Amino acid sequence: MAMPDSQESILPKDETVIEQTQFVKLGRCQWWFMVALNIFFLIVGQAAAVLLGRFYYDRGGNSKWMATLVQTAAFPVLLIPLYFIPSSKDPLTSSAPPSIKVLALIYFALGVLLACDNMLYSVGLLYLSASTYSLICATQLAFNAVFSYFINSQKFTALILNSVIIVSFSAALIAVSDDSSGPAGVSKWKHILGFICTLGASAIYSLLLSLMQLTFQKVLKKETFSVVLEMQIYTALVASCAATVGLFASGEWRTLHGEMENFGEGRVSYVMTLVWTAVAWQVCSVGVVGLIFVVSSLFSNVISTLSLAVTPIAAVIIFHDKMDGVKIIAMLLAIWGFATYIYQNYLDDSKVRRRQTGVTESHNDSSA
């Protein structure tokens, strides 16, 4: 849900459109409050979803397609804010809206990509401990910097380059370490497979967010609350359908009843684990949508990695994951990388605010 110039990237080049953005309409305190609130939703939702996903596997769940499906299945929850929160109008936008066929094609492609991404995450979590899984996910920052550079024409700054290198070192430490604290019965090769799948999922997720940002800028040419929500809802619908097809095509649906009967905490706990995992992912999605709306879709990727500071610690408490010296160093490096991204965003925020203040003062002087 990381960008070197986050504030400038969400503001289109057309200054008449800039004046319509939520960024300008919100005061500084209101803007930071909305950012903080959505960060909270994203972190809590993602951390809870990862821990519940690990709980599902630990207590006897084994369906990778079911674990994939629950990541998007509760998307109807997003219809609530879409219905109750009115969308801001943009009367100054003169460009014609894209055709239904173009939108359907975009949503279908992004939805299928999202389903593939969720599947890789499910395999990664199956073969890795929750703490290791979360730390590898921090590589989203590095992948995002690369994709945003080539797809979204973002700049590399010293802080961003520093962050990419540090996060890469963090992932490398996890890769070369012997994860003896992994799930029981997982062989070395399955652990390697889990690492590769999680790394690949992080890369695809970053690519997905860059493509979403490109869609907002080049196709939809606006980034209102309703437009962002609609993209989340339709892509989640496609991903859920794809996961359902995979569940039946793979034959895993036949094992679900046995999973429920043999689940370590009972049948009710099995159902509730899946339900609350799905809900937690949608709470995370609300945070992602909010950050896309008030900041950008790329910046939300930075915030999603902050859960790496929460999930490993929670995993130690709940699942008694082993936090050895290598993991602690990797976590500190990842947090350092995250902090440099946040500081870069703070500098960009201050720069845009000063520019906007100067434009406003110039306009007032000319009016006088």
- Looking up tokens 């519940």, which residue turns up? 52
Sign of CA dihedral 66, 72, 76, 80: positive
At residue 20, the pLDDT reads 36
Q: What are phi and psi of 215, to 5 degrees?
A: -65, -45
* C-alpha span between 311 and 330 (Å, rounded): 14
Residue type, 136: I
CA 213 to centroid of chain Cα atoms: 13
pTM here is 0.80
* C-alpha span between 313 and 308 (Å, rounded): 9
DSSP-derived secondary structure letter, 219: I
Look at residues 336, 222, 235 and name the one whose alpha carbon lies nearest to residue 288: 235
At residue 338, the pLDDT reads 77
* C-alpha span between 51 and 317 (Å, rounded): 11
* C-alpha span between 282 and 292 (Å, rounded): 15
Q: What is the pLDDT of residues 279-322, one digit of tens each?
A: 999 888 888 777 867 776 556 666 776 666 667 777 777 777 77
Intervals of the chain under pLDDT 70: 1-27, 85-95, 175-182, 223, 292, 296-302, 305-310, 359-368
* C-alpha span between 168 and 160 (Å, rounded): 12
At residue 162, the pLDDT reads 82
